[in-house]
């Protein structure tokens, strides 16, 4: 009797790489992308970008007037025109990254995190200062490493924490916490308390979902509170912002002006380019663009913006509920936490419910580094949440992580 084994054809997945008889042309790649990408999530993102176009158009005259000098007169629509350029580049980056396979997206996130950590360490040495904070490096253009580190940080931590499935004895929590500590130290050297809090929030979400016990998590949260307390006493920037917030600020300071501008339009707004209070508002096109939306388009429009952010968060979580890949669950949650957390902080600042942080409104505010970085964030999110609609999901995914009570390590 022959001992030869029967021949079993080998099927290669599209993520396994190309071989002699395996080719995917760009048309097939686009078809696969369109089949797998979350179209509802993409539509929500594009809707927010459209809102951003209208909002920057409304804020551009105010910012141009404030930043014009006797020697240089900026056009009323200078920032609007620049925003269109940056937004087009950001959209191209977003779509380009969203085509990547999940494995390639993971590799990109890890490499980007490594590069941006090095640049973040160089900021105190070669960076330049704006409004009392040294956050940018001049490469012929202004680059803010912390903006690009946000999505990469989420992907890097997700990869590290997912390694516990291969070896439960790996000290993944210690590695993740050490990376957060390094980032927090470098951020506070700028100083950038708001950015530090956002990184800590991303870390908290990922650690919470990775299955850490409540006792250990409580100890880490306590250490974080102790660190925030130390920042208050050791950093003048943090102390002044917190004191100003707790003391109610002074009349017509920037946070007070933002709230007055936000409420000036009532429910329906004064109309496009008809706002008056925005002309006195600093950073109308960036940090306080939510207030400009309130004055010119009304509080109803502001509520719709908030609803869009909530819809993005909920859509991603729904997408991850039955995802069987732990890295995808953690990375997707971390990336949407970065978007939602930044939006949450910015909106609370405009409502005078949080100290001023110098943080833009994702996908809406004007920006160079921030717009491209947000394109990377959303592109990674779309790539990681891509799914073959013909594959049946039988595992509980995110649901299992939320129901886990004990730390397996």
Write down the pLDDT at residue 1.
46
What digits encode the pLDDT tens for the residues 349-388?
Answer: 888 877 776 788 999 999 888 899 999 999 999 999 988 7
pLDDT at residue number 36? 87
pLDDT for 392: 56
Q: Is residue 6 helix, strand or coil?
A: coil
128-130 and 142-143 beta bridge pairing: unpaired
> Which long-range contacts (C-beta less than 8 Å, at least 24 apart) are formed by 267-275?
267/298, 267/299, 267/300, 268/298, 268/300, 269/294, 269/295, 269/296, 269/297, 269/298, 269/301, 270/295, 270/296, 271/296, 272/54, 272/57, 272/58, 272/296, 272/297, 273/58, 273/61, 275/58, 275/62
The mean pLDDT value of the chain amounts to 82
DSSP string, 82-142: HHHHHHHHHHHHHHHHHTS-HHHHHHHHHHHHHHHHHHHHHHHHH-EEETTEEEEEESSSE
Look up residue 263 and give its two tokens.
């409420």
What pLDDT does 65 receive?
84
Tokens standing for residue 368? 């160079």
Q: What angle do CA 149, 151, 153 make, to 5 degrees?
A: 60
Residue 39: both structure tokens together: 């179209």
β partners of residue 130 = 133
Does the residue 25 lie in any domain? no
Report the number of distinct structural domains present in the chain: 1
Query: What does the pLDDT read at residue 396?
Result: 53
Rounded distance between C-alpha atoms, residue 140 and residue 233, angstroms: 37
Q: Which residues contact 173 (CB under 8 A, 6 or more apart)?
A: 161, 207, 210, 212, 216, 409
**Residue 271 maps to a domain:** yes
- Between CA 342 and CA 365 the distance in angstroms is 12
Domain membership of residue 28 (yes or no) is: no
Give a yes or no: residue 15 inside a domain.
no
Query: Over the range 297-312, which residues count as b (16 or more CB within 10 Å of their CB) and which as e?
Result: bbbebbeebeebbebb
**Cis amide bond preceding 191, omega within 30:** yes
The DSSP secondary-structure symbol of 7 reads P
| 3 is a domain residue | no
Residue 5 lies in a domain: no
Domain extent for 333:
36-403
Query: CA-CA-CA-CA torsion for 286, 287, 292, 294, nearest 10 degrees?
Result: 140
Which residues share a beta bridge with 143? 137
String of DSSP letters for 186-238 = HHHTTT-HHHHHHHHHHHHHHHHHTT--HHHHHHHHHHHHHHHHHHHHH-HHH
pLDDT at 400 over 70: no
Mean pLDDT for 304-310 is: 96
- Tens digits of residue pLDDT in 17-75: 444 444 667 777 788 888 889 999 999 999 999 999 999 999 998 888 888 777 788 88
Q: Is residue 97 part of a domain?
A: yes
Beta bridge partner(s), residue 93: none
Taking residues 142-152, report their average pLDDT: 91
pLDDT tens digits for 87-102? 999 999 999 999 998 9
The answer to whether position 256 is within a domain reads: yes
Q: What is the model's pLDDT at position 252? A: 45
Report the distance separating Cα 208 and Cα 131, nearest Å: 36
How do residues 63-91 score in pLDDT, each as one tens digit? Answer: 888 887 777 888 888 999 999 999 999 99
DSSP, collapsed to helix, strand or coil, labels residue 143 as strand
């Amino acid at each position: 009797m022959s001992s030869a084994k029967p021949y079993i054809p080998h099927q290669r997945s599209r993520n396994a790489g190309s071989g002699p008889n395996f080719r995917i042309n760009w048309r097939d790649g686009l078809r696969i992308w369109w089949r797998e990408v979350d179209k509802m999530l993409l539509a929500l993102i594009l809707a927010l970008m459209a809102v951003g176009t209208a909002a920057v158009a409304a804020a551009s005259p105010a910012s141009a007037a404030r930043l014009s000098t006797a020697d240089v007169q900026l056009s009323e629509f200078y920032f609007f025109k620049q925003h269109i350029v940056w937004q087009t580049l950001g959209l191209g980056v977003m779509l380009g990254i969203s085509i990547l396979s999940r494995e390639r997206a993971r590799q990109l996130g890890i490499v980007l995190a490594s590069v941006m950590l090095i640049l973040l360490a160089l900021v105190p040495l070669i960076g330049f200062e704006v409004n009392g904070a040294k956050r940018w490096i001049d490469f012929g253009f202004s680059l803010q490493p912390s903006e690009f580190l946000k999505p990469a940080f989420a992907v890097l931590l997700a990869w590290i924490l997912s390694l516990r499935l291969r070896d439960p004895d790996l000290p993944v929590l210690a590695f993740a916490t050490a990376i957060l500590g390094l980032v927090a130290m470098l951020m506070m050297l700028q100083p950038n308390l708001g950015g530090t809090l956002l990184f800590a929030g991303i870390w908290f979400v990922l650690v919470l979902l990775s299955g850490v016990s409540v006792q250990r998590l409580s100890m880490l949260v306590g250490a974080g509170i102790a660190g925030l307390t130390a920042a208050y006493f050791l950093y003048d920037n943090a102390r002044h912002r917190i004191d100003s917030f707790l003391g109610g600020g002074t009349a017509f300071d920037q946070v007070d002006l933002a709230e007055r501008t936000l409420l000036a339009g009532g429910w329906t707004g004064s109309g496009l380019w008809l706002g008056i209070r925005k002309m006195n508002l600093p950073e109308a096109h960036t940090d306080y663009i939510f207030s400009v939306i309130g004055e010119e388009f009304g509080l109803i429009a502001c509520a719709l913006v908030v609803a869009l952010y909530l819809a993005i968060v909920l859509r991603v979580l729904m997408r991850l509920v039955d995802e069987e890949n732990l890295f995808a669950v953690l990375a997707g949650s971390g990336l949407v936490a970065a978007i939602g957390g930044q939006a949450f902080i910015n909106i609370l600042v405009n409502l005078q419910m949080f100290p001023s942080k110098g943080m833009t409104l994702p996908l809406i505010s004007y920006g160079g580094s921030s717009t491209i970085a947000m394109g990377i964030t959303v592109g990674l999110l779309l790539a990681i949440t891509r799914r073959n609609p013909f594959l049946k999901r039988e595992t509980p995914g995110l649901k299992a992580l939320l129901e886990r009570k004990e730390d397996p390590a």
